[in-house]
Structure 1
Amino acid sequence: MVVSSSVPVNFKQVNIITYLATRFTYLSQETWLDLVEQQRITCNGLVCQSATLVSQGDIVTCDLPDFAPPPVNLAYSIVYEDRWLLGINKPGGLRVHSKGKFVTANLIYHLRYEHEPPYAEARLVNRLDADTSGVILVARDEETRRLLGQQFAEQLVHKEYVAVVNGIPAKEEGTIDLPVGRAQGSKVKQRQWVVEGDGGKTAVSHYQLIAPLGSQHALLRLFPKSGRTHQLRVHLAAIGHPIVGDALYTMDDDTFLDWCQQRQPIPSMQGITRQALHCQLTRFTHPMTRQLCTIEAPLPDDMNQLIARLQAK
């Protein structure tokens, strides 16, 4: 399988191995080195050596070997279904769609090709991060996807999330109005952060305190008004209450990249292996029936167990 990438602006005269291992963390540094030594990596059409340097704008192409699909959590459930639409309760640890080694290990592929019966025309309406659980909408035809997509774009869809966070907010409810964009200067390509000026997009989230969990954690209900990448995770980290288990927003770049190689639980994760964030409810106007439609997904076991552990402290 041949894949290509354009080196982004934050990489300047960086060793090819460092670039690949930093940007594409699904393979270890040792594996990337092996692929370079096998002459399976090129930069601007030239075969790379282990000492090759890359910079912004270079085109890096990788002839990747075929991978066995990685183990993923396929314990999703269909919580709503009609002739136009599916409502899915997605577990943490399952990508909604993907490429590379996850090309067959994701929700949309499984719905189209592995589910019985298959949903051959399944199309994602919205997305959740791989390690966020909860409601996902999947259209069964292009017109439904288009109409529901308009509602999301116009901020007409009501979403409610539940999260376990570090610390207890001083106010029982509040609004976080901070622009979100690509974290400037970060070595981690997926990291977002609060970005003022160019590069930042308007992002607004409301929160309510459901209950303190012991003296050092809290259970929050969250209402994102906009839908920026990692919005809730960034907003909560920015106000000093990062989500429990969120490795990306509780670690610096180097620590996170090291953690990605092993993905071992650490004490700050409180026994959970992902961010404790769940989309519990999505409400919208059904694009075909024009009726108000509410789809709910109960809290998963790992979050219920986390809440119980923290309450007992």
Structure 2
Amino acid sequence: MEEHTFVVEEDTDRRLDVYVVDHLPHLSRSFVQKLIAEGYVTVNSAIQRPGYKVRRGDRIDVTVPQPEPTTISAQDIPLDILYEDDYIIVINKPKGMAVHPAPGSWSGTLVNAILAHCSQLSGIGGVERPGIVHRLDKDTSGLIVVAKTDQAHRVLQQQIQKRTAERKYTALVWGETKFNEAVVEAPIGRHPTDRQKMAVIKDTSRYTAREAITRLKVLERFRGFTLLEAKLETGRTHQIRVHCSFIGHPVVGDPVYGGTKRAVPQTYSKLQQQELEQLIGSLQGQALHAHSLVFEHPVTLERLSFEAPLPPDMQALIDWLRKNG
């Protein structure tokens, strides 16, 4: 069991759940909201809502109970494991696989597969997210590190919070960017009207949003498309997809943030347009892949670096563009 006490020393307009996550970055916001709902977080000895706005002088007590025994079923699903020891596992996650169970998707997830492979996982993420240090969207492929022990989990999340861990993605986006390198610094929160989506929030006094920073670098340009490397400085939900859409270059194949609504440029011949449309249509999700992961081993402190090749559907589209674009 963990117990923490904070006294708010500054004037702030932050929500209670956001304040706790900022001070306990190894806990996810959804997990903190669950703690608040179950009475494990109090303000001045009283239970408050997650949206309570903390004030100077508030005393916040947080109790993190021992994790419950997992009830998520183990499933014998093949895993592409790049590295494993007694503390961590590095996996190349395929497209179409959710990272953890959730309503409507209680099986076939990365967690189900890991539980069949390894019985010991960190409990910090809660019953439904054992070992999960960071996430990838279901239809985003690539590298993810999973913690086997609570200590490894804390150290890895601290690296992500302090930005000493490096997470780089390859993204194929619509349009030809005017920049070679860019930093997108725009806060992200739940969409004001469509709660199933995230969005860049301009009015942060009215809507809750968190700092989000993405560094973009052009790798290659094609007719009507750009291949980008995206480096995460923060790790908000759908961050790269939201930021690329925000700057007018949605990720190709992204069904949520405009990546399926663009028409193939008419600068291509009719036959080429048909071929392009077929390749884009065959993408199993957005053309976004976590290709590089660098961090310090949580125990040995050795700097580890991993690379994962692009999935075949994304590689085929890029190869075609290199030949014809």
Query: Could you say which TM-score interval applies, normalised by the shorter chain?
Result: 0.5 to 0.7
Q: Residues 209 and 270 (structure 1 numbering): CA distance in 2 closer, same or farther, change over 3 Å?
A: farther
Contact kept, 8 Å, 1:270 with 1:306, in 2: the verdict is no
Q: Which residue of 2 aligns with 1:45?
A: none
Moved more, 150-159 or 161-170: 150-159
Distance 2:234 2:278 in 1: 32
Amino acid at match of 2:199: W
Distance 1:133 1:159 in 2: 13
Q: Which residue of 2 aligns with 1:175?
A: 183
Q: Residues 306 and 159 (structure 1 numbering): CA distance in 2 closer, same or farther, change over 3 Å?
A: same
Q: Residues 251 and 170 (structure 1 numbering): CA distance in 2 closer, same or farther, change over 3 Å?
A: closer
Contact kept, 8 Å, 1:75 with 1:90, in 2: the verdict is no
Identical columns (%): 33
Q: Which residue of 2 aligns with 1:89?
A: 92
Distance 2:189 2:102 in 1: 23
Contact kept, 8 Å, 2:98 with 2:108, in 1: the verdict is yes
Q: Residues 212 and 75 (structure 1 numbering): CA distance in 2 closer, same or farther, change over 3 Å?
A: farther
1:268 CA displacement: 9.6
Question: CA-to-partner distance for each residue in 1:141-164, whole Å, 9 max, x for gaps?
Answer: 222112111211222211111011
1:171-210 equivalence runs, <5 A = 171-186=179-194, 189-196=195-202, 197=204, 198-210=207-219
SS at match of 1:295: strand
1:270 CA displacement: 4.6
1:128-147 equivalence runs, <5 A = 128-147=136-155
Q: Which residue of 1 aligns with 2:322?
A: 311
Please point out which of 213, 217, 221 is paired with 1:212: 221
SS at match of 1:305: helix
SS at match of 1:124: coil
Q: Residues 195 and 301 (structure 1 numbering): CA distance in 2 closer, same or farther, change over 3 Å?
A: same
SS at match of 1:97: coil
1:179 CA displacement: 0.8
Q: Is 1:107 the equivalent of 2:110?
A: yes
Contact kept, 8 Å, 2:250 with 2:259, in 1: the verdict is no
Distance 1:176 1:267 in 2: 31
SS at match of 1:93: coil
Amino acid at match of 2:175: G
Amino acid at match of 1:199: T
1:119 CA displacement: 0.4
SS at match of 1:148: helix
Please point out which of 237, 240, 245 is paired with 2:248: 240
Aligned residues: 223
| Structure 1, unpaired ranges of 5+ | 1-68, 253-265
After superposing on structure 2, the runs of 4+ consecutive aligned residues of structure 1 that deviate more than 3 Å are: 266-271
Question: CA-to-partner distance for each residue in 1:50-102, whole Å, 9 max, x for gaps?
Answer: xxxxxxxxxxxxxxxxxxx9xxxx56400111221110000110001013342
SS at match of 1:100: coil
TM-score, length of structure 1 as denominator length: 0.67
Contact kept, 8 Å, 2:171 with 2:230, in 1: the verdict is yes
1:46-57 equivalence runs, <5 A = none
Q: Which residue of 2 aligns with 1:121?
A: 120
1:15-26 equivalence runs, <5 A = none
Question: CA-to-partner distance for each residue in 1:228-273, whole Å, 9 max, x for gaps?
Answer: 1111000000001000000000179xxxxxxxxxxxxx87945313
Q: Residues 75 and 241 (structure 1 numbering): CA distance in 2 closer, same or farther, change over 3 Å?
A: farther
1:43-82 equivalence runs, <5 A = 76-82=79-85
Q: Residues 290 and 99 (structure 1 numbering): CA distance in 2 closer, same or farther, change over 3 Å?
A: same
Question: CA-to-partner distance for each residue in 1:157-205, whole Å, 9 max, x for gaps?
Answer: 111110110011101111111111111111xx33111102131211111
